[in-house]
Structure 1
Amino acid sequence: MNATLNTPLFMKSKFEIENSEFLLTKLDYPERLDEMGALRVAAWKEEQGISKDFFSHKLWLDDEDLLAHHWVITHNKVIVAAARMSFHQEYSSVPHANLFDETLLGQFAEGPFASLNRLVVLPGFRGKGFSGVLDQARIQFAQSQGARSIIAQPIASRIKPLEDLGFVYLGKIKPLYQMPERQIYFMIKDLSK
């Protein structure tokens, strides 16, 4: 990726890949929220192991979207990738906290926590490094907001890239009802050091 990213990365940055210009933008709520919800469905609806009933809806939005911070990558003003991050004082308020045993957090049990959620990239734009750009923006933002650690609940293909960013693998979580046949994992990054 030939990317020149401005500082701070998490606000707004232009970059170029394969002679095409892209724009990373941190949105203000509720800017483009419906488009992100539609992107989530478009990006996941053909994947294996998902609930066909759930992904028959037009949008994938939840209550956490109202409180979370959102980033998009656009190409010609169209959203091609998106991600969100939420902040939590207690582990119990992290999305899907009930699917992972809190006692397994060990040294990471104390908040405040940031939580990486809802990373999606349209199939035609995968493999260009957008997940990494969105991860770096969210990590920088979590650091700027004083989070002690960042929780991620990735699918298997995201474990290695997150490990490369300093996340530690802690185990599997129970399947999400939206993706009953896809294994989701639990990872955490310590920001307190």
Structure 2
Amino acid sequence: MPSNLATLPALSTQYFKPKHASTNTLNEIGSLRASIWQDNQHSDRQKACQHVWLEEADKHAHLWAVTSEAGMIATARLCISNNLNHLPEQELYDGLELPAPFATMGRLVVAPSWRGKGIASALIRERLNLCDDLGVKSLLLDCPEHRVPVMQRYGFSALKLPQAGILFPDTRFVVMGRFN
């Protein structure tokens, strides 16, 4: 799959179809997630894990990994299903009447020293393009309140009022959707 990240020098982007990422790659993704959330000063009780943050959904998801010479610096996930109950954190979508197939965008992280270079935007576009290619009708996500304006620029709108996060209850998240 072509990457919008190809224009950034010294970076490589890998796209993994569901069940195609190696155990080593999954562990690298989980380590990057954990280190970034820990760096964001979430308390010990809020941490999803100590050293690796992986979920069952990662095994069945479309995944992207961006690497530099120093190692993995960004990652993102996209889960697709015809049933809302099969998506990660499905309780977020309770009460919503949405057309299928569904997808959730999540777990986008970029190492702090690489922020501001368009990596997150490119990973968002990669996932939007794949959803278009696969005929996804309802694209969903939950993001911290401060990221709502960014996601609105990509055509997302708030579907629910801000609520405490499932894994990070001290952070307020907004469920958003984009429909084709």
Structure 2 unaligned runs (5+)? none
SS in 2 for 1:153: strand
TM-score, length basis structure 1: 0.81
Cα–Cα, structure 1 residues 97 and 172, in superposed 2: closer, same or farther, change >3 Å? farther
Aligned match of 1:52 in 34, 44, 47?
Answer: 44
Structure 1 unaligned runs (5+)? 1-7
Aligned partners of 2:145 and 2:116: how far apart in 1?
Answer: 15
Residue 42 (structure 1) aligned with residue 29 (structure 2): no
Residue 163 (structure 1) aligned with residue 152 (structure 2): yes
Aligned partners of 1:51 and 1:100: how far apart in 2?
Answer: 26
Aligned partners of 1:33 and 1:77: how far apart in 2?
Answer: 17
Instruction: State the aligned residue count.
Output: 175
Report the AA paired with residue 38 of structure 1. S
Cα–Cα, structure 1 residues 56 and 140, in superposed 2: closer, same or farther, change >3 Å? closer
Q: Is the 8 A contact 1:113 1:151 kept in 2?
A: yes
Q: Is the 8 A contact 1:45 1:55 kept in 2?
A: no
Residue 78 (structure 1) aligned with residue 71 (structure 2): yes
| CA RMSD, Structure 1 to Structure 2 (Å) | 2.1
Aligned partners of 2:119 and 2:179: how far apart in 1?
Answer: 23
Match of 1:3 in 2: none
Q: Is the 8 A contact 1:169 1:186 kept in 2?
A: yes
SS in 2 for 1:162: helix
TM-score, length basis structure 2: 0.87
Residue 128 (structure 1) aligned with residue 120 (structure 2): no
SS in 2 for 1:98: helix
Superimposed CA distance per residue, residues 63-110 of structure 1 (whole angstroms, 9 cap, x where no aligned partner): 10110010011111611110000001122222212134323x4xxx12
Aligned partners of 2:64 and 2:152: how far apart in 1?
Answer: 21
Q: Is the 8 A contact 1:15 1:23 kept in 2?
A: no
Q: CA deviation at 1:13?
A: 5.0
